[in-house]
Structure 1
Amino acid sequence: MPEEEGDVYHTEISLSGQMKVDSTGGNMEEQAEVETAENPFEPLVESILQQLEDQDPVFLIGLIVALAVVVITCVFLKYFLSSKTVRSAVLLVGLCDSGKTLLFSRLLSGKFKRTQTSITDSSAPYKAKNDKANTWTLIDLPGHDSLRPQYLEKFKSAARAIVFVVDSAIFQKEVRDVAEFLYILLTDTVISRNAPALLVACNKQDITMAKSAKLIQQQLEKEMNTLRVTRSAALSSQDGSVGGSVYLGKKGKDFDFSQLPMKVEFLECSARGSKGEDGDADLVNLEKSLAKL
Structure 2
Amino acid sequence: MEAGSSGSDMGGKADVEMAENPFEPYMDSLRQQLEDQDPVFLIGIVVALAVVVITCVFLKYFLTSKTVRSAVLLVGLCDSGKTLLFSRLLSGKFKRTQTSITDSSAPYKPKNDRGTTWTLIDLPGHDSLRSQYLEKFKSAARAIVFVVDSAIFQKEVRDVAEFLYVLLTDTVISRNVPALLVTCNKQDITMAKSAKLIQQQLEKELNTLRVTRSAALSSQDGSVGSSLYLGKKGKDFEFSQLPMKVEFLECSARGSKEEWQFTCVEVIRHLQ
TM-score bracket, normalised by the shorter chain, equals 0.7 to 0.9
Q: How many residues align?
A: 253
Alignment-derived partner of residue 75 in structure 2: 93
User: What CA distance in whole angstroms lies between the structure 2 residues aligned with 1:48 and 1:133?
Assistant: 53
Alignment-derived partner of residue 265 in structure 2: 287
Is the Cα–Cα contact under 8 Å of residues 197 and 264 in structure 1 kept in the other structure? yes
Alignment-derived partner of residue 125 in structure 2: 143
User: What CA distance in whole angstroms lies between the structure 1 residues aligned with 2:154 and 2:98?
Assistant: 23
Q: CA deviation at 1:94?
A: 0.3
Question: Is 2:225 the counterpart of 1:237?
Answer: yes
User: What CA distance in whole angstroms lies between the structure 1 residues aligned with 2:127 and 2:31?
Assistant: 66
User: What CA distance in whole angstroms lies between the structure 2 residues aligned with 1:142 and 1:49?
Assistant: 69
Q: 1:65 aligns with which of 25, 47, 54?
A: 47
Partner deviation per Cα, 1:227-276 (whole Å, 9 max, x = no partner) = 222223368333xxxxxx53322222222111212211100011122xxx
Question: Is 2:166 the counterpart of 1:158?
Answer: no
Question: Is 2:101 the counterpart of 1:119?
Answer: yes
Alignment-derived partner of residue 109 in structure 1: 91
Q: CA deviation at 1:126?
A: 2.0
Task: Give 4+ residue runs of structure 1 displaced > 6 Å after superposition.
Answer: 44-54
Alignment-derived partner of residue 8 in structure 2: none
User: What CA distance in whole angstroms lies between the structure 2 residues aligned with 1:45 and 1:220?
Assistant: 74
Greater Cα radius of gyration, structure 1 or 2: 1
Please report the TM-score for the alignment, with normalisation by the length of structure 2.
0.78
Is the Cα–Cα contact under 8 Å of residues 129 and 288 in structure 1 kept in the other structure? no
User: What CA distance in whole angstroms lies between the structure 2 residues aligned with 1:134 and 1:222?
Assistant: 37
Q: Secondary structure at the match of 2:193?
A: coil
Structure 1's 285 and 230: CA in aligned 2 closer, same or farther, altered over 3 A?
same
Q: Secondary structure at the match of 1:231?
A: helix
Is the Cα–Cα contact under 8 Å of residues 270 and 281 in structure 1 kept in the other structure? no
Q: Secondary structure at the match of 1:107?
A: helix
User: What CA distance in whole angstroms lies between the structure 1 residues aligned with 2:32 and 2:158?
Assistant: 74
Alignment-derived partner of residue 21 in structure 1: none
Percent of matched pairs sharing the same residue? 83
Question: Is 2:207 the counterpart of 1:225?
Answer: yes
Amino acid of the residue matched to residue 88 of structure 1? S
Aligned Cα root-mean-square deviation (Å)? 3.3
Partner deviation per Cα, 1:80-105 (whole Å, 9 max, x = no partner) = 32354332211100011111111111
Question: Is 2:188 the counterpart of 1:206?
Answer: yes
Q: CA deviation at 1:185?
A: 1.0
Alignment-derived partner of residue 241 in structure 1: none
